[in-house]
Structure 1
Amino acid sequence: MLMTTNKSPPPRHSGGMTAAEGAALYRLMTWLSPAFPVGAFAYSGGIEWAVEAGDIADAASLRNWLASMLADGSGFCDGVLLAQAYRAASSHDEAALREIAELAAAFVPSRERQLETSSQGRAFIDIARSAWNCDGLDQMVARCDGAIVYPVAVGLVSAAHEIPIGPTMHAFFHALTSNWISAGARLIPLGQTDSQRVLAQLEPVVVATAKRAIEASLDDLGSANFRADLAGMRHETQYTRLFRS
């Protein structure tokens, strides 16, 4: 027997998206754009030291370095923390959200990386509350009761706005990767075409890492990217620097 329902699907624009989907995409494109003022341009994530040490010298070595950072290092860990913060905020589990925020702040391996992620997280939260506030966001921020690092901030704000985790994760990784490439382009240097080639080559790494991060638990946190962590530490004493990390 064919069953029918009187409930109509949400109206869709000619482009195939509902108004809510369009608004969610608009916000993600804004929040994770290079133009969003979180100061990402000032940080290299240790890439500056890797260039000086000779680990990164051209487009190919930059691509290999970033693929490792994404899949086996800080990229994957940030993705896991984002997803866990998102879920805790979505379920209004304030105790879990506070624990995740504390763990994420403690998990950063160097002083400069701590400055980088906490400064960006604070800027992201402040701008979101000023220009994009919504019901419950202030309460979620208050429950963290301390520093909110960048991936936790993105997960928390996206959950408060009910933006799906999948697009949020991919937009976050795109922003992270684009910023790393921008730093490498200025340091090596690289031209715009080579920079875009590196971004294109990293697409499957980003997609696979995003999937792993969404499905992972906090028990899966861990880095096998010691050289990149060392680069972040060595940058603190680097004589000539363009970046803050």
Structure 2
Amino acid sequence: MIWCGALVVSRLTRTRLLNPKVVHTMSIVMNTDSSRRSIRLWQLISPALPVGAFHYSQGLEQAINRGWVNDVETTESWIAGLLERCIGSVDLPIICKVYDAWKAGDKEGVKEFDRLCRACRETAELRDEEEQMGTALCDLAGELDETLPAEKMGFTAAFAVIAVNNQIPLEDALNGYAWAWCENQVLAAVKLVPLGHRMGQRILRDLGPVISDAAANALQCGAIGVTAPGFVIASASHETQYSRIFRS
């Protein structure tokens, strides 16, 4: 027997592992598995996912109506602020909690954090958005033969459960969720401010570091809570806004 770090292998096994053909085959298998997980994540965060995300601006429409958001700079500042203080402090930590609970087979834990997520939606429109998108995602997942809890979940918890089912790494799931949210906000801003599509892409590029930082903080900290009163005011005011395109 030959010691190789902490691994003990026979001479025959060692010879086979060092065989370039064997190593190449193992690399192909590992890369294929990783690619499949990535592709599943892309499907989950695609704008084509039929959950109705394009119906919602999450208060952005009211912020524009009030003049808080009116150009490229204020648009990027608004989205980055919500990414840090709302998505990064509620959605992403909730995904971490649900991901760990579902992975451990803790169905009650999934239910508990789903309820907490809904409780953090501070206006009727935000709660409706969470529930309606969650119902749509759960219905779709059922048609795609995903294993889900018996009760319908909000969108955030359902996203985490599906990520576990498809062995999507948690950090990738967090980055993907945050990216999809930012993309939806930018698309709304392009219509409402309005902005050019190229300016929208510039904003998305600049938000990249904010997305990765928010995901990293969620993994390390895990504290849950909204700290954006202006956002809540905008969302609540949107409920009675006379002329509007979006549901939130």
TM-score greater than 0.5 by the shorter chain: yes
Q: Determine whether 1:116 maps to 2:129.
A: yes
Match of 2:138 among 125, 136, 142: 125
Q: Determine whether 1:106 maps to 2:106.
A: no
Q: Determine whether 1:172 maps to 2:177.
A: yes
**What is the aligned partner in structure 2 of residue 215 from structure 1?**
220
Looking at structure 1, the residues matched to 111 and 239 of structure 2 have their Cα atoms a distance apart, in angstroms, of 29
Long gaps (5+) in structure 1: none
Contact 1:125 1:157 in 2 (8 A): no
Q: Determine whether 1:83 maps to 2:96.
A: yes
Question: How large is the RMSD of aligned CA atoms in angstroms?
Answer: 1.8
Length, aligned pairs only: 233
User: 1:74 offset after TM fit, Å?
Assistant: 3.7
Which stretch of structure 1 is more off in the superposition, 69-78 or 90-99?
A: 69-78
User: 1:227 offset after TM fit, Å?
Assistant: 0.3
Looking at structure 1, the residues matched to 110 and 227 of structure 2 have their Cα atoms a distance apart, in angstroms, of 26
User: 1:158 offset after TM fit, Å?
Assistant: 0.8
Deviation string 1:174-224 (CA, Å, 9 cap, x unpaired) is 10000011011100011111001111111111110011112233xx11222
Looking at structure 2, the residues matched to 67 and 125 of structure 1 have their Cα atoms a distance apart, in angstroms, of 29
User: 1:105 offset after TM fit, Å?
Assistant: 1.6
The letter of the residue matching 1:176 is W
Match of 2:27 among 12, 28, 32: 12
Pick closer, same or farther for the CA change 1:59–1:17 going to 2, 3 Å.
farther
Q: Computing the radius of gyration over CA atoms, which structure comes out larger, 1 or 2?
A: 2
Contact 2:88 2:215 in 1 (8 A): no
Using structure 1 for the length normalisation, give the TM-score.
0.89
User: 1:76 offset after TM fit, Å?
Assistant: 2.9
Contact 2:120 2:225 in 1 (8 A): no
| Pairing of 1:153-232 with structure 2 (within 5 A) | 153-217=158-222, 220-232=223-235
Match of 1:241 among 222, 240, 244: 244
Q: Determine whether 1:42 maps to 2:45.
A: no
